[in-house]
Structure 1
Amino acid sequence: MATKNSPRVGKLSSSVRSSMLAGSKSSCGGSPKDLFYEAAAICKAPPKPKRKRSDRTPTPTTRGEQHAMGNWALPSALLLLLLLSTVPDRGRKLHANAEDSGDSDDLVDLPKVEDKLGAVPHGLSTDSEVAKREAESISRRTLRSNAEKFEFQAEVSRLMDIIINSLYSNKDIFLRELISNASDALDKIRFLSLTDKEVLGEGDNTKLDILMKLDKEKKILSIRDRGIGMTKEDLIKNLGTIAKSGTSGVIIGTAFVEKMQTGGDLNLIGQFGVGFYSVYLVADYVEVISKHNDDKQYVWESKADGSFAISEDTWNEPLGRGTEIRLHLRDEAKEYLEEDKLKELVKKYSEFINFPIYLWASKEVDVEVPSDEEESTDEEETSETSPSEEEETEEDASEKKPKTKTVKETTYDWEVLNDMKAVWLRNPKEVSEEEYTKFYHSLAKDFGDEKPLAWSHFTAEGDVEFKALLFVPPKAPHDLYESYYNTHKSNLKLYVRRVFISDEFDELLPKYLNFLKGLVDSDTLPLNVSREMLQQHSSLKTIKKKLIRKALDMIRRIADEDPDEFHNKDKKEKESEENEKKGQYTKFWNEFGKSIKLGIIEDAQNRNRLAKLLRFESTKSDGKLASLDEYISRMKPGQKDIFYITGTSKEQLEKSPFLERLTKKNYEVIFFTDPVDEYLMQYLMDYEDKKFQNVSKEGLKLGKDSKLKDLKESFKELTNWWKDALSSENVDSVKISNRLDNTPCVVVTSKYGWSANMEKIMQSQTLSDATKQAYMRGKRVLEINPRHPIIKELRDRVAQDSKDESVKQTARLIYQTALMESGFILNDPKDFASSIYKSVQQSLDISPDAAVEEEDEVEEAEAEEKESTAKAEPEDADESSAKDEL
């Protein structure tokens, strides 16, 4: 039956149908408010008054009631229209920034319209949750459009390009880096809580743990910690730039980029302080949500496109405090959405992290549910039963319970993944070598294949009680000696009652042992104090003393086999293990030998113990490293001094004239080729009552020479004359030498002056003091070989005519040659070259007055003119060809 309002209702229905077909067109082209007014213009009928509760008797439908029913359709239709108009198109996605909204590179899918309507009975309910989610989506889109955009620092962009385009197969490292960063953040907030309990907050915020959660549908892996969190400024600084290390100004991230570009190992990324960026090995879009106690909650997000955006977070669940990282994984990284994979990686890399790591994991449990099987009924008995039997039957029926069955049901709960007790708190006898190795990798963030060279796990008792675990790394850090005197950060972590305090104490170990990794856990030190106060605590000196002793014993064990173990092994096993030990110490020396030398210079108290760890090559070591004890065992009878020589290379020193007589008499000479050796020997004066003697300095004693006195008398005239002739060359004296065999003469320095090698080192210093150099250079001594024919002939020439200029010139040339052969730098190379040319002229019988033929100036001018003409011709030809083309 038609009414006046029927067309209007029909028109509204078609409008609703068109809006359903158009989807997001209404939300993009017109606002929900516009659609509402459009519908209101069509349907102006007043709403039907409420029916009374008692009026429920059905009556025949009249024309007026049909009109009222039409009015009931209006609110429902309007409600559906409003709901549909606020739902974005199923293909529409959320953009990070307003200026990016036109890009096809979208970020996050929103739920489909059908999905939301399917959750509502008949698709007509108002569903407050849907409305809430839609409001959040609109709010989030608005806030993201207002997000601040930043460009990555150049070094970060280079680093991310390397990572994103890397073919590196071990992508697992991203998880260990994120867990390591989370652990550091938890360490910081726990340290702050020692002096201010309020920083932890209340409730779940007091739980210091790491949480991981998977969303397989959206391909999102989330890692959350309740650590110190980051302010907006921290997000920009920590995730957009590469910070400088310490006061040295060395940009460690840049060093990593350069190392990678030369074929470095991406596995070392954590050692360079840029481990966060490894997330782009597996993710193409990353969100970092962080809340610091001193700031609001912010979201950092980036698609690794050279920029990142930061906005205030009002749509995510409040963190309270801490950081949550959401990785939107690539298709090829879906394996990291598997629980077993994450469990495997945590066990491999992060088993010994000091905070519990939880995974929102699934597990199957047995559940009792009602049985669906119908209960079988007994056949009806036709026979009559007695009253007593009827009573028993009724009692049995009352005692019967409903039948159930057991089924498997999947539930989710937090599962702890690292339940291992801290290694340093366990008995060393109960810890396996594999566990020590895994703990070292976790502690040092060194996840290579090599195990540490040695470790020392001990407990100290007495006035100061503490537990310690020290490791010798297999390789030296890339910048170990570059900032040796500037850095204040050690590789030793300090714990007090299992609470991490700091890794910036240089009071626990001296600088020369800063290559050691490890930790110290003390129950004696006070807990609620600042780092500055703790540095002045008297117990630290005791701890330091014991740590040094244990560290040096550990290094000694690498070099020397333990006597008790060695005694219980057969000969072949002894030899093989001895060779292995020597190989291990050779590796240690090549990596950290300079540190032992610096220790001898700096640590007078332990100088003798460190000297036992010295290694070097010598004239009798056959290319292998030798110790001072081995040298002493090979000393000749009556030899009182330990002979050594310094220089730039072993090959150069083997040809040195200073070794001629020593090697002929079978004396062993140590080769020191490291620049630091010159400083070392200024502090290491003796060893086991044996003095050190530099064979390039005066004072060398090789036993008594009965002919020496006669030789001095025979060459007295020559030595006196030669000293006067070299008065301008800073020569203190000319003496008969006891160290030469085939060389005419050498130049040696005074006992406490600089050697030739030391002079070169000091002259190469940028800020060297010329006045100090002149003072420390000392006097030079020319030692001559009285058995050499050149020296004998020169003696005879001087005896014949001491004023002969040619003899003086020859003597000067011999001295300059000896100066160079002894390792010194000539003061006047031009004068030396002129002397050489004159000698060549004499050997070629060329007159000293012979002049250099001068070039004819006329011919030279003509040649220059021809050359310029030849150059101009091609240019003219080019101009003419260009004109022809035009």
Structure 2
Amino acid sequence: MTTGKINVSVENIFPLIKKFLYSDHEIFLRELISNGTDATLKLKHLISIGDAKVEYGNPTIEVKIDKEGKKLHIIDQGLGMTSEEVEKYINQIAFSGAEEFLEKYKDSAKDSGIIGHFGLGFYSAFMVAEKVELITKSFKDEPAAHWTCDGSPEFTLVASDKTTRGTEIILHIAEDSLEFLEENRISTLLNKYNKFMPVPIKFGTKTETLPTPEDAPEDFKAEEVEVDNIINNPNPAWTKAPTELKDEDYKEFYRELYPMQFEDPLFHIHLNVDYPFNLTGILYFPKMSSDLQIQKDKIQLYQNQVYVTDNVEGIVPEFLTMLKGVIDSPDIPLNVSRSYLQADGAVKKISNYITRKVADKLKSLFTENRADFEEKWNDIKIVLEYGMLSEPKFYEKAGAFTLYPTVDGKYFTLEELKENLKETQTDKDGKLVLLYAGNKESQHSYIQTAKEKGYEVLLLDSPIISHLIQKLEADNENMTFVRVDSDHVDNLISKEEATISKLSETEQETLKTVLETLVPKPTYNVQLQAMDSHSAPFIITQPEFMRRMKEMSQSGGGGGMFGMGNMPEMYNVVVNTNSELATTILNSTDKTHQEQLVKQALDLAKLSQNLLKGEDLTAFVKRSFELVK
């Protein structure tokens, strides 16, 4: 029998481990199963190169609960350890066996999937256990060893009668951690952290019905048998080459990742790179909502098929965190508990690679089947527009496949719009004017007016479109975006003769004075304009600059990325001097009647812009019924 002290430099290392080393106690199971996986994969590698003369077989890792004895068992059939190795790897904290193994076999083992980096995973057991036993037998022809520690720096190491290769860890669960003796709790953790581990993981048994023979009689009763319950998929889709997978395989894996997701993804992107870093994964574009926050934290980060986190900020560009899927890379540097990313140049390279790969995939989808891409545009546009705003490298490539739909359901790239509209939609300064609506319903009358004049109207309705427009205009000097209800629409050069006002200059000045006394300031600014007599008598437009600033303030949430504080409400009341109503208001001698006409016309214009609310709306309805009477 050997006794001694674990070789640590801090007397109270175990309380430190329990309180501070790991952010969440539940990950002890992930760490211990990862150790078992390492031991199994190391053995597989040694056999493959001839350094271990044993049969590999079909090893599994088993998790067993002994609720009555308050024990949890994790059993592997890996390479095991000798007593000497237990002394070296268990009693010398932070001396990682995986690290030493990789160094020794660095040329042949780089693709063997060895997980461990820190040598501390085993000690996570003490976060939930008051005593830990380790019974292990090496693949070498040496006696088995039995190590025991009660959470103090004291340990015992004795010979064991274990005859089978591998390691069994027995956790004597502490009173404050008895939840980890519940089957549902362990099952949930295995599903969360170990769902795609590269070695089969057994947890309990399940009942399966044997197949019915073809010649079975009608009253044949199929036999039911108990079989091992393997809870993981050791060969998930992302570990395979794209050539091995069909479209249905990708959809099936999506359903495996998100069993509660009932809609298929729109399309997928398979990531696979081995230089200058190793990274595999599959990203899916789901149907998007306009709520950017709801969409986030759906991508899972793995390291050699071990789940790490669903917070991939830093690795995946922010605009792509709204996607779903898996990324797996052994080259992503993690801190000691594998819970948080460390700042590293490799991480930025990975992020840039993912950005480029996504852009290339989108371009190929657009080129290969434009009609299908157009059909999916409204479900993916928010991600692409956000990417153009936040990632310069993505912005450079996105022009080739970013679409601008019209209110009539046609789709154009920006270059196509420039070419198609250069002769018909320029302003007085020679700039190309791209008219757009933010809402087809509320801006219907403005859209119709523009279309009657032969203008093309785009439908740009995402919550961040104002920011993207600002960027596009900054990069295209001879182009401007103008919303159909904006005061800038008047700057478009009409192909017809300019409309002449029926009112003289003096009459116009008198009319404007009357209107300005009745239209509330400073929210509304009165403007007179000679328009077709069939046009609406009163139209409300918004100053383009103020409207954009207000939208950008709202989309930034006041204090968010684009927050600019609260912008004041400002509108223009454009009065058609060629309308009969303008003439009637001008010539009315009854001041009360004149005021009623102006209020009713203004309220109708406000109603068309959804600006009539509260008391004003109540007064308008009452006044309208009086007029009907």
Residue of structure 2 in register with 1:698 after alignment: 487
Structure 1 residue 815 displacement after superposition: 0.8
- Extract unaligned runs of 5+ from structure 2: 1-65, 72-112, 126-133, 140-165, 196-200, 212-220, 426-431
Partner of 1:511: 318
Contact kept, 8 Å, 1:746 with 1:783, in 2: the verdict is yes
User: What are the within-5 Å matches in structure 2 for residues 369-380 of structure 1?
Assistant: none
Distance (Å, rounded) in 2 between the aligned partners of 1:191 and 1:228: 22
1:116-131 aligned at under 5 Å gives the runs none
Moved more, 599-608 or 666-675: 599-608
Equivalent residue letter for 2:485? S
TM-aligned CA distance change 1:439 to 1:192, over 3 Å: farther
1:723 counterpart = 2:488: no
Match of 1:203 among 133, 136, 141: 136
Contact preservation (8 Å) 2:283, 2:326: yes
Q: After superposition, where does 1:286-305 map in structure 2 within 5 Å?
A: none
Match in the other structure for 1:836:
624
Give the distance between the partners of 1:529 and 1:334, measured in 2 at CA. Answer: 51
| More off after superposition, 324-333 vs 552-561 | 324-333
**Structure 1 contact 613–627 (Cα < 8 Å) conserved:** yes
Cα 1:597–1:533 shift into 2, 3 Å = closer
Are residues 1:635 and 2:442 paired?
Answer: no
Aligned amino acid, residue 805 of structure 1: T
**What CA distance in whole angstroms lies between the structure 2 residues aligned with 1:790 and 1:445?**
61
- Which of 423, 436, 444 is matched with 1:644 structurally? 436
Residue 184 (structure 2) aligns with: 239
Equivalent position of 2:362 in the other structure = 555
Structure 1 residue 722 displacement after superposition: 0.8
Residue 453 (str. 1) matches residue 267 (str. 2): yes
Question: What secondary structure, in the 3-state scheme, does the structure 2 residue paired with 1:666 have?
Answer: coil
* Aligned match of 1:259: none
Tell me the residue number matched to 1:583: 372
State how far apart, in whole Å, the 2-side matches of 1:534 and 1:436 are: 31
Q: Which residue of 2 aligns with 1:433?
A: 246
Deviations 1:586-631 (A, max 9, x none): 23x344333223334444553454465444542443xx55544444
Counterparts in 2 of 1:502 and 1:451: CA distance versus 1, 3 Å: closer
Q: Secondary structure at the match of 1:783?
A: strand
1:422 to 2:239 alignment: yes
**2:49 aligned residue:** none
Shift in alpha-carbon separation, 1:739–1:542, aligned structure 2, 3 A: farther
SS of the residue aligned with 2:486?
coil
Instruction: Check conservation: 2:288, 2:380, Cα contact below 8 A.
Output: no
Q: Note closer, same or farther for the CA distance 1:539–1:645 as it changes in structure 2 (3 Å cut).
A: same
1:540 corresponds in structure 2 to: 347
The answer to whether the 8 Å contact 1:495/1:502 transfers is no
Letter of the structure 1 residue corresponding to residue 372 of structure 2: G
CA positional deviation for 1:731: 1.5
Report the CA distance shift for 1:721/1:697 in structure 2 as closer, same or farther (over 3 A): same
- 8 Å contact kept, 1:784–1:791: yes
Distance in 1 between residues matched to 2:520 and 2:263, nearest whole Å? 63
1:134-153 correspondence to structure 2 within 5 Å: none
Partner Cα distance (1:583, 1:227) in 2: 54
Which of 373, 380, 386 lines up with 1:592 in the alignment? 380
User: Which has the higher relative contact order, 1 or 2, with Cα contacts under 8 A spaced 6 or more apart?
Assistant: 2
CA shift for structure 1 position 536: 0.8
Q: 1:352 aligns with which of 227, 235, 245?
A: 235
Partner in structure 2 of residue 483 of structure 1:
294
In 2: Cα distance, 1:721 partner to 1:646 partner:
33
Q: What CA RMSD, in Å, does the superposition of the two structures yield over aligned residues?
A: 5.3
Distance 1:672 1:584, change over 3 A: closer
Q: Secondary structure at the match of 1:643?
A: strand
Task: Give deviations 1:213-268, integer Å, cap 9, x for gaps.
Answer: xxxxxxxxxxx998998955443788269999xxxxxxxxxxxxxxxxxxxxxxxx
Q: Residues 12-31 of structure 1 correspond to what in structure 2 (within 5 A)?
A: none
User: Aligned to 1:508, what secondary structure does the other structure show?
Assistant: coil
Partner residue, 1:327:
206
Change over 3 Å in CA distance of 1:480–1:753 after alignment to 2: closer
Question: For 1:263-314, what per-residue CA distance to the aligned partner results, in whole angstroms no more than 9, with x for missing partners?
Answer: xxxxxxx8xx7999xxxxxxxxxxxxxxxxxxxxxxxxxxxxxxxxxxxxxx
Aligned to 1:782: 573
1:618 paired to 2:431: no
Tell me if 1:466 matches 2:411.
Answer: no
Q: TM-score, normalised by structure 2?
A: 0.57
Counterpart AA for 1:444? L
- Whether the 8 Å contact between 1:225 and 1:323 is mirrored in structure 2 is no
Q: Which among 582, 605, 611 is matched to residue 824 of structure 1? A: 611
TM-score computed with the length of structure 1 as normaliser:
0.42
Contact 2:485–2:542 (CA under 8 A) maintained in structure 1: yes
Cα contact 2:208–2:226 (8 A) shared by 1:
no
Alpha-carbon distance in structure 1 between the residues aligned to 2:282 and 2:310: 14
Shift of 1:778: 3.6
The 2-side partners of 1:674 and 1:696 are apart by 17
Query: Which residues in structure 2 correspond to 1:645-794 (within 5 Å)?
Result: 645-647=437-439, 650-653=440-443, 656-677=444-465, 681=469, 684-685=472-473, 689=477, 690-700=479-489, 701-703=491-493, 707=498, 713=505, 715-728=508-521, 730-736=523-529, 742-754=535-547, 776-794=567-585
Structure-1 separation of matches of 2:138 and 2:414: 59
Distance 1:744 1:459, change over 3 A: same
Residues 673/336 of structure 1: CA separation in 2 closer, same or farther (3 Å cut): farther
Which letter maps to 2:493?
Answer: G
Question: Helix, strand or coil: the match of 1:718?
Answer: helix
The structure richer in helix per residue is 1
1:804 partnered with 2:591 = yes
Gaps of 5+ in 1: 1-139, 149-188, 207-223, 245-269, 277-321, 355-420, 562-577, 842-886
Conservation of the 8 A alpha-carbon contact between 2:315 and 2:347: yes
Identity %: 13
Aligned-partner Cα distance in 1 for 2:627–2:257: 64
Larger Rg: 1
C-alpha contact 2:210 2:225 (8 A) present in aligned 1: no
Contact in 2 for aligned 1:476/1:592 (Cα 8 Å):
yes
Counterpart contact for 1:596–1:613, Cα < 8 Å:
no
Letter in 2 for 1:511: E
Match of 1:550, SS? helix
Mean CA deviation greater in 671-680 or 513-522: 671-680
Q: Show the 5 A alignment for 1:278-293.
A: none
